[in-house]
Amino acid sequence: MSKTDSFVKFEKVDKSYDGEVLVVKDLNLDVAQGEFLTLLGPSGSGKTTTLMMLAGFEAPTNGEIYLDGDPISSIPPYKRGIGMVFQNYALFPHMTVNENLSFPLEVRKLNKSDIKDKIEKALSMVELEEFGNRMPLQLSGGQQQRVALARALVFEPRLILMDEPLGALDKKLREQMQYEIKHIHERIGITVVYVTHDQSEALTMSNRIAVFDDGVIQQISTPDILYEKPENAFVAQFIGENNQIKGKVQSINGNNCVVKTEAGEEIKALKVNINSVGDKTIISLRPERVEINPTNSNFENIFQAKIKELIYLGDHIRTRVEVCGDDQFVVKVPNTYKGAEFKEGVTVKLAWKATDSRALNSR
């Protein structure tokens, strides 16, 4: 992304609350106009602090934040033209839906005709046209969250910020709202910066994801690249389920390497970010990339394994095995698998390709 593409830009931004510990460290981040960028990470990783600095509720300790080319660190929140959606909805309980949506427009001194038109447009975006006269407590959780989204959109901001907006909803409704927000973004093309600790939510909704840990972006990329090509062990473990096998690099040949596990087996792997023979490494391997009792020999890695546990999860059987000294190794087996002697306690063959084993630094 070139500098001219940056609609939102963090330039060498630090944030400390006590003058000693940095909760955000040397942050350099660009967001393109119309992009849906998610800040993903565990609690305390710096993602919400980053969002609060962009909103104007926190000031950077060092560095500058730009919005459409203009520095905004000294501009108060209400002058930034940014819409906010929070987990707790933050609707006025004594006002109707229409009145909630009218409030940010009245503050901006729009006339009654424009206010009416903008409210109708915003409620149409979230498919709540018939709910304008309802009170918030007469709505379901999902409807209240859609009203909160409509209120953030109603004054046509340049940017929408969302802080764990679906955290209070049950699983089914949360998943439904993920698709609704994604589709609204696709229809209107507004720039969205979204915070969550839920990796499946981030994968579902985002154009790009910035994975935070300890105040630093560990990797920023599209959902498919983050999942398929994690750059370090933290990202591999945080995005989706992942097997990790510790070992040392035995040999390197171009983009490939051989890793000797702590139990003594040798695994052929893709060299991602290790430097030399003797380096400690962690092999990252997705459970769905492993085959049980393969019917062909197109695999560079084949090992004996003992089945420790089978858990039926509908579309697949989560199979925990002991292999390469790891008794927490997981394989996702399709529920249609008809292999003989597929039960706890039996020994099977496991196989996977070298290109699916990623030798990562052991950060």
- pLDDT by 10s per residue, the chain, length 363: 444 479 999 999 999 999 899 999 999 999 999 999 999 999 999 999 999 999 999 999 999 999 999 999 999 998 898 998 887 778 889 999 999 999 888 888 889 999 999 999 999 888 899 999 999 999 988 889 889 889 888 888 889 999 998 887 888 888 888 998 898 899 889 999 999 999 999 999 999 999 999 999 999 999 999 999 999 999 999 998 999 999 999 999 999 999 999 999 999 999 998 889 999 999 999 999 999 988 888 899 999 999 999 998 998 999 999 999 999 999 999 888 776 668 899 999 999 999 999 999 865
What are residue 10's DSSP bridge partners? Answer: 29, 65
> Is the CATH number of domain 241-361 2.40.50.100?
yes
CB atoms within 10 A of CB 84: 21
How far is the CA of 234 from the CAs of 212, 214, 318, 323, 330, in angstroms? 10, 11, 22, 22, 18
Q: Which two tokens stand for residue 332?
A: 């996702």
pLDDT of amino acid 273: 87
Backbone angles phi, psi at 279, to 5 degrees: -65, 140
Q: Which two tokens stand for residue 308?
A: 């420790």
Half-sphere exposure of 266 (CA within 13 A, CB side): 9
Question: Quick one: which H or E segment has residue 64?
Answer: strand 62-67
Which of these CATH numbers, 1.10.3720.10, 3.40.50.300, 3.30.70.3170, 3.40.190.100, describes 3-233? 3.40.50.300
Q: Angle formed by the axes of helices 141-153 and 97-107, to 10°?
A: 20
Burial 12-40 (b: 16+ CB within 10 A, else e): ebebbeeeeebbbbebebbbeeebbbbbb
Backbone angles phi, psi at 29, to 5 degrees: -145, 135
pLDDT of amino acid 1: 45
Annotated domain spans of the chain: 3-233, 241-361
Residue 137 one-letter amino acid: L
For residues 312 and 314, give the distance between their C-alpha atoms in angstroms, rounded to a whole number: 6
Backbone angles phi, psi at 83, to 5 degrees: -90, 145
Assign 3-class secondary structure to 260-296: EECCCCEEEEEECCCCCCCCEEEEEECHHHCEECCCC
Residues 6+ apart with CB under 8 A from 243: 283, 284, 285, 286, 287, 290, 326, 329, 330
Per the rule left: phi > 0, alpha: psi between -120 and 50, beta: everything else, 319 is beta
pLDDT of amino acid 2: 41
For residues 242 and 288, give the distance between their C-alpha atoms in angstroms, rounded to a whole number: 9
Q: What is the dihedral of CA 96, 102, 106, 109, to 10 degrees?
A: -160
Q: How many residues does the chain have?
A: 363
Residue 217: name the closest of 209, 225, 227, 229 by CA.
209
pTM here is 0.89
Backbone angles phi, psi at 337, to 5 degrees: -60, 130
Q: Which two tokens stand for residue 69?
A: 């080319």
